[in-house]
Amino acid sequence: MKVRELSIPGAYAFSPEVFHDARGAFTSPFQEDAFGEALGRPLFPVAQASTSRSRRGVVRGVHFTALPGSMAKYVHCSRGRALDFVVDVRVGSPAFGRFEAVELTAHEATALYLPVGVGHLFVALEDDTTMVYLLSAAYRAEKERAVHPLDPQLSLVLPDGLDLSMSERDRQAPTLAEALEQGLLPDYASCIAEETGAVRD
């Protein structure tokens, strides 16, 4: 398992070895030992596992969850191909308003870890792109938050040549500046305290 820390504090990319033979392939996108060594914590507390399937051009995000009870995410692509964006919406973070994009494919099985409070968006590059999520907290509709994926301040570089499709919720989401003004964005220090405190409990 190769591990790379992203430019967003607390976010990591995990690239497992993929074993191929005449039958197909086998890999382990999540490995507790590698995760614990990278983050200095022994486990990722999985409360829920979810999947999404998207056609080419579908955009999902920028999504994050409110404090307290926010969730960290561990996500990989099990079918197809996606361009995944890790977006720092944590007020007070040294990377606030910045993003890093990583292409995720079923062939390579790279997974991303997004810490508590960090925004997540992906755009499907192929039909039937399937994303698998391990979540540290159960889904709560009242905790869900979003920032507009085409916010000029974020300047997310989406691929050319796609017929973009997004939910009405994402179309109506506030910009980063509007979310900040409305008090919707999580505090960086509080995110870290919640994430590390949840492990200690």
* Catalytic annotation, residues: 63, 133
User: Alpha-carbon distance 86 to 63, whole Å?
Assistant: 10
User: Alpha-carbon distance 142 to 145, whole Å?
Assistant: 8
| Token output for 112 | 């991303």
Q: Which amino acid is at 139?
A: Y
Q: In what order do the strands lie in the sheet with 144-146?
A: 99-105, 81-87, 119-124, 59-65, 144-146
Residue listed under structure tokens 């969730």: 71
**ω into 42 cis (within 30 of 0):** no
User: Alpha-carbon distance 117 to 66, whole Å?
Assistant: 7
β-pair partners for 12: 5, 113
Q: The dihedral of CA 186, 149, 95, 135: what is its sign?
A: positive
Q: Which DSSP symbol is given to 80? A: S
